[in-house]
Chain A
C-alpha cells in the first residue's frame, strides 16, 4: 500500500492523476468476527410481524379462557367457527367482561410502548418512558382534576377527563424536556432526575384528591384504581374512542419515524440535513402525549411498559424506528395482555392492579438497563 504526500501543490484539474479510492485501505475482515453475530440476532422484519400477529391472537385466546369461570380455548374456537354455540352465561362473561378488558389492555400496551419508543428517540436515550419522565403522572393529575371538577363536561364527544389527561401529559412533557436539555443534547442524569422530581410531585398532588374524596366517597374506588394502575372493564364507547385515537396516532406517527432516525444524529445535524427539527419535535411530543393520555384514561398509572418493550424490540430488530413502530405496537399489546391476565389470575379471586405487577417486572429491568447503559449509551 503506497501512500505518499503529493509533492507538488495540486492545481485540482479533474484530469490530474489522483489515487484511486480503492487503494486507500482495505480493512481486514478477520479483525471483526463479531459482525456476523450481530447479523444473526436480527430477525427478518416481515417474519417478526407475522410471528407477533400470531402470538397476539394466541395470547388473546388464552386470556379469554383464563378466569374464575374456565372456558376452554377449544370451546371458544368452536363457537367462533359456528359449531357449538356458547351458553348465555359464557357469552356474557366473554363478550361483556373479558374481551373488552383484553382489548383495553392491548390498547394500553400498544399506546405505552409506542410513546416510549417516540420519547426514547426524541431524547436520544433508551431510559425515556412516559412513566419515567412524568408524562403519565401529568396525565393522571389532569384526569383527577377532570373527575373532580368537570365530570359533567364534555367537548366534541370527549370527556373533560380525557382532554385534561392529554393536557396534563403535554404540559409535563414540555417542562421535563426543557429542564433536561442542555446544548442540544439530553443529559441522562438530568432527564431522570427531572422526571423523577416532576412525577413525584404529580403523583402526590393526585393523592390530595384522594383525601378530599374520602368524605363523599363516590369516585374513590375509581381514583384509587387509577393511581395503582388497574385496567377495568371499559364501556364500548370508551374502547371505541381509544382504539380510534390509537390508530390515528399510529398513522400520524409513521412519517415521524424516519425523522426520528435523522434526529439520532443530533438536532444540529438533523437541521443541516434539511429537517425542520422544531416541527418534528412538537409532533412527537403531541402524539406521544396523546398516546400516554389514552393509556392513562384506560389503565391509570402503569409503569415501565414503555421502557421494556421498545428496548427488546430494538435488540431483535436494530434501531430503525420505521420498522420498530409496528413491532413495538404489537409487542406492547401482547406484553400488557399477558401482564393483565397474570394480574387478574395469579392471586385469584383477588386481583392485583396490573400497575403493581409491572412495577415488579419493570423495576429490576430498569435497573439492569441503567447498569448496562452506563457503558454503551454514554452521550
Chain B
C-alpha cells in the first residue's frame, strides 16, 4: 500500500541553518500520529514541508506516491490542510467569514461560493462545534474557541490529511481532552491526522503512532509504547531521566514489567 504521506531523505534549512536533516518516514492513511521532539527540532518545519508551503532542499515529499512539487497547488490544498499554531486575522472578520476561506481551493476566479461550499462550511462548523460561534468576531474568541475555528477552517478544505501544529498548546486540560476527542472523531470519519504535540502525557492512549524528531537522534517512528521509552526520550530530549516525573514513572513501570 502506498503511504498517504512520505518523506524521502528530506532536508531543509532557513538560510545556512539546517533544520531538517535527511528525514524519512511514512504516514499511512487512517493513522492518527503524533509528531514529538524538543524545541527547535523542526516540527513546524516538517508540517510546513508536508503542506507544501516550504519546498525541500533535497529529497522529496510525496503525497500518495506523487511528489508534492508535481501536484497543482489547488489539488494539494484539497488534500492537505495545515492548522497553524497562530492565526492572526486583521479587521473584524467573523468566524464564518474565516472558515469560508477554506473553500478557496474549490473556487475559480469568477465562481463564488456555491451550495456545496456552504454545506462543507456548515459541516466544518458543526464538526468542531463552532456553529454557535459563526457570527462572532474571530479576534474576540478565547484560545479554546479559536483552536476549534482554526480546525473548522482546515476541515472546510475537506482534506484527507489534517496536519496540526501544537493544537493542544495554550489549552487548559479540559479543552485539551475535548480537542483529543475531536481528533479521534475526525479520524473515525476517515481523516488521517498528524499533530505535533508538546505534552508527552497526552500521547499514550490517544495516538496510534509517534514520529520522533530530534537533533540528538535520527528520525524514528513507532507505536506510542515503543517510542515513549525512557532511554530514547532521555536521549532525544536531552533530559536527565531522574529529574522528570514522566520518565521516572515510565522507568519504574518498565522495571516492574521486567520483573
Residues on A facing B (Cβ under 8 Å): 3-14, 16, 18-22, 24-27, 29, 32, 35, 38-39, 124-126, 255, 258, 261-262, 264-266, 268-276, 314, 318-320, 322, 376-377, 379
Contact = CB atoms under 8 A, between A and B. Distances in A.
A18 B182 CA distance: 9
B106 to A, nearest CB: 9
Given A5-B177, A6-B205, A9-B206, 14 more contacts: A3-B174, A4-B177, A9-B224, A9-B225, A10-B206, A12-B188, A21-B127, A25-B129, A125-B90, A258-B112, A264-B93, A272-B53, A273-B77, A275-B104
B30 A38 contact: no
Contact of A38 (B73, B97, B137): B137
A345 B123 CA distance: 58
B248 interface: no
A322 B93 CA distance: 13
B132 A27 contact: yes
B109 interface: yes
Given A3-B177, A8-B205, A319 B129 contact: no
B44 to A, nearest CB: 11
Contact of A266 (B88, B177, B178, B208): B88
B184 A18 contact: yes
B53 A265 contact: no
A39 B134 CA distance: 12
A320 B137 CA distance: 12
Contacts of B18: none
Given A11-B208, A255-B109, A273-B157, A21 B129 contact: yes
Contact of A264 (B91, B110, B178, B225): B91
A314 B223 CA distance: 51
B74 interface: yes
A21 B157 CA distance: 19
Rank and list the top 3 A-B pairs by shortest CB-CB distance, nearest first.
A274-B77, A319-B91, A274-B105
A19 B91 CA distance: 35
Given A3-B177, A272-B82, A273-B104, A27 B133 contact: yes
B238 interface: no
The residue among A3, A9, A261, A275 with the most chain B CB atoms within 10 A of its own CB is: A9
Interface string B27-69: 0001110000000000000001001110000000000000000
Contact of A258 (B107, B137, B187): B107
Contact of B178 (A25, A268, A269): A25
Given A24-B182, A32-B136, A35-B136, A272 B52 contact: yes
B89 A14 contact: no
